[in-house]
């Protein structure tokens, strides 16, 4: 799944990041309501995890604005408020489900999977395809033509990010932020992972899909 988390508590956000990334999901973070609204409106997410109490714009207002704008991405609302009135208010604002803090991350994951399945008509997440390469978000399986491609976790994240945004060119900084948040490793790390990815998907192919635009960034695109 490609998840947007809008949460201003950094410790909680880190716990959620660690859990979902370890399970092969891609997750972006908005640390306040304004940045969360911008990310949600600008990117195609499978599901949104939304805190209720946020600086800038609160979760209720953010959710309502997304629905008013026609954005139907499923929303799971997180909050410390557990009264019936608060739950009803969240659902009326456009949330699809509601979890009260503290919560078990396994339960959150199960609820997110159910929301995504429901939103996509029980068909599972839609496969991504660029040229003759496909990526299945449900199984994390990558194929090119008739060939199955095995990838380590970071190159797998890169291929999903670039395929979701294809044919847009993504800068190195943007890719690093998607993968490592605000704490990227040394400057050679991304280059090394891209080298592994390029060898895996392009080495045995007639036409390369992973392209480097010097001084600009990277893209996965077919001619």
Over residues 155-165, the pLDDT tens digits come to 898 999 999 88
Annotated domain spans of the chain? 2-119, 128-220
Q: Give pLDDT, residue 83.
A: 64
Class in CATH terms, 2-119: alpha beta
Q: Note whether 169 and 217 are within 8 A (CB).
A: yes
Q: What is the CATH number of domain 128-220?
A: 1.10.10.10
3-state class (DSSP) for residue 211:
strand
- Over the stretch 59-106, which tens digit does the pLDDT of each residue have? 889 998 988 888 888 999 887 766 667 677 777 788 888 888 888 898
Buried b (16+ CB within 10 A) or exposed e, 120-154: eeeeebeebebbebbbebeebebbbeeeebebeeb
What global pTM score does this model have?
Answer: 0.56
Q: Give pLDDT, residue 209.
A: 93
Q: Note whether 144 and 20 are within 8 A (CB).
A: no
Q: Which residue has the tokens 């026609």?
A: 70
Alpha-helix residue ranges (DSSP H) falling in the chain: 10-22, 33-42, 59-68, 84-92, 105-119, 153-165, 172-180, 188-202
- Interval 45-56 mean pLDDT: 90
- Over the stretch 119-172, which tens digit does the pLDDT of each residue have? 766 445 568 899 899 998 878 889 998 899 988 888 898 999 999 888 889 898
């Amino acid at each position: 799944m490609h998840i947007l988390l809008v949460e201003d508590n950094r410790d909680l956000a880190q716990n959620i990041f660690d859990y979902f990334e370890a399970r092969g999901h891609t997750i972006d973070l908005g640390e306040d309501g304004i940045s969360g609204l911008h990310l949600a409106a600008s990117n195609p997410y499978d599901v949104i995890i939304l805190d209720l109490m946020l600086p800038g714009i609160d979760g209720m207002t953010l959710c309502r604005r997304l629905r008013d704008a026609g954005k139907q991405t499923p929303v799971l609302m997180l909050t410390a408020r557990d009264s019936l009135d608060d739950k009803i208010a969240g659902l009326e604002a456009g949330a699809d489900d509601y979890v009260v803090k503290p919560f078990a991350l396994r339960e959150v994951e199960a609820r997110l999977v159910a929301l995504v399945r429901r939103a996509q008509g029980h068909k599972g997440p839609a496969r991504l395809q660029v040229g003759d390469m496909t990526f299945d978000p449900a199984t994390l399986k990558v194929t090119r033509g008739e060939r199955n491609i095995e990838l380590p976790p970071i190159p797998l994240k890169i291929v999903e990010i670039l395929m979701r945004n294809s044919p847009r060119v993504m800068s190195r900084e943007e890719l690093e932020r998607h993968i490592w948040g605000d704490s990227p490793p040394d400057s050679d790390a991304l280059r090394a992972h891209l080298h592994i990815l390029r060898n895996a998907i392009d080495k045995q192919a007639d036409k390369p899909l992973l392209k480097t635009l010097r001084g600009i960034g990277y893209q996965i695109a077919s001619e």
